[in-house]
Amino acid sequence: FDSRDGVIWYDGKFVDWKDAKVHVLTHALHYGSAVFEGERAYGGEVYKLREHSQRLIDSAEILGFKLPYGLEEIEAATNATLARSGLVDAYVRPIAWRGSETMGVSAPNNTIHMAIAVWEWPSYFSPAEKLKGIRLTWAPYRRPDPLTIPCKSKAAGLYMICTISKHAAEAQGYTDALMLDYRGYVAESTGANIVFVRDGELYTPQPDCFLDSITRQAVEAIAARHGIKVNRRHILPEELATFTEAFLVGTAAEVTPISEIGEYRFKPAAISELLMHAYLDEVQPKKVAAAE
Ligand code: PMP
């Protein structure tokens, strides 16, 4: 992945993809002091660029560092990197981290670096294929207490338990893992929030110890426009037996129906299908109607 052609925006300049490197004594590599975003461009525009860029700034602030670029500079750099890539439908990965000047847990004066990479990431499955649903198993780790970790920061370090959980799921032939939270309530998958359906209404865990997914909020707004009620509350794993449909929501996942979570079975049906299509419609750049 690090040897392809193209350019990466790195500390304000475009550098060749192959040369976008960090030193091995980078603070972020040793102590997890990096924050990032996952964004998608559709039709040449990054969907919810403002929300993602603001979350990047907030994530850094939670970890105690300030990005050397403001909101508008980050947006401009993102758009410039997308334009340079020549891609219209793409995945966008901004990342910011503490550099390598001093080594040790405390490094308040290390330079804050930032990079933005853009690559092609098509939806591999057609909507019909997606409606078959993916299979999830239970994760070996739980989302920690907000007093244990800064859970509202999209910080690289918090993904350690996600990678372990996803690898464990894949080793058993599953696509992903569903994590409980520290209290034993249903939380989210390793890279997306989760939504359930029962009797025409949506049920989704209260995002009080994991990311408040921008995609989930968009899907909730679409549901509201279709008169579908959204219940945001704690969900115990046993309650999964009462839900008929389930789907993941996230920038990368978009709306991905689920067929199986551990011992529970789901049948992607009308509501998953409606929201999957409505979301794909929603993310397309809106053409401003020409004035008469
Ligand atoms: N939870 C986790 C752990 C994630 O990595 C992501 C993807 N950023 C999400 C939820 C979904 O968030 P969003 O819809 O804002 O991309």
Per-residue pLDDT, 128 = 86
Q: How confident is the model at residue 289 (pLDDT cuts 50, 70, 90)?
A: low
Domain ranges of the chain: 7-119, 127-282
Per-residue pLDDT, 291 = 53
Handedness of CA 214, 217, 218, 219 (dihedral sign): positive
User: Strand 13-16 relative to strand 230-232: parallel, antiparallel, unpaired?
Assistant: unpaired
pLDDT at residue 290 is higher than 80: no
Task: Return the structure tokens found at 44.
Answer: 């040449």
Q: What is the pLDDT of residues 36-77, one digit of tens each?
A: 999 999 999 999 999 999 999 999 999 999 999 999 999 999
Cα–ligand 1 centroid distance for 210 (angstroms): 9
Question: How far is the C-alpha of 168 from the C-alpha of 290, rounded, in Å?
Answer: 52
- Ligand 1 close to Cβ of residue 38 (< 6 A): yes
Question: How far is the C-alpha of 56 from the C-alpha of 35, rounded, in Å?
Answer: 7
- Ligand 1 close to Cβ of residue 211 (< 6 A): yes
Cα–ligand 1 centroid distance for 102 (angstroms): 32
- Ligand 1 close to Cβ of residue 188 (< 6 A): yes
Listed as own residue / partner, the contacts of 99-104 with beta carbons closer than 8 Å and 24 or more positions apart are 99/22, 99/23, 99/26, 99/27, 99/28, 100/22, 100/23, 100/25, 100/26, 100/27, 102/27, 103/25, 103/27, 103/30
> Could you list the active site residues?
154
- End-to-end, the C-alpha distance of the chain in Å comes to 49
Q: Which CATH number fits domain 127-282: 3.30.300.30, 3.40.50.280, 3.20.10.10, 3.40.50.2300?
A: 3.20.10.10
Going by CA atoms, what residue is nearest to atom 9 of ligand 1? 192
Per-residue pLDDT, 3 = 83
Cα–ligand 1 centroid distance for 251 (angstroms): 6
- Answer yes or no: same fold for 7-119 and 127-282: no
Residue 215, C-beta contacts closer than 8 angstroms, at least 6 positions apart:
192, 193, 249, 250, 251, 253, 254, 255, 279
Q: What does the DSSP assignment read for 100-115? A: SSS-SS--TTSPEEEE
SS3 190: coil
- Ligand 1 close to Cβ of residue 223 (< 6 A): no
Domain 7-119 has CATH 3.30.470.10: yes
pLDDT at residue 167 is higher than 80: yes
Interface predicted TM-score (ipTM) of this complex, two decimals: 0.99
Going by CA atoms, what residue is nearest to atom 12 of ligand 1? 213
Q: What is the pLDDT of residues 116-153, one digit of tens each?
A: 999 998 776 788 889 999 999 999 999 999 999 999 99
Torsion, Cα 133 211 286 123, to 10 degrees, reads: -30
Question: How far is the C-alpha of 170 from the C-alpha of 137, rounded, in Å?
Answer: 9
If you average pLDDT over every residue of the chain, what do you get? Answer: 96
SS3 264: strand
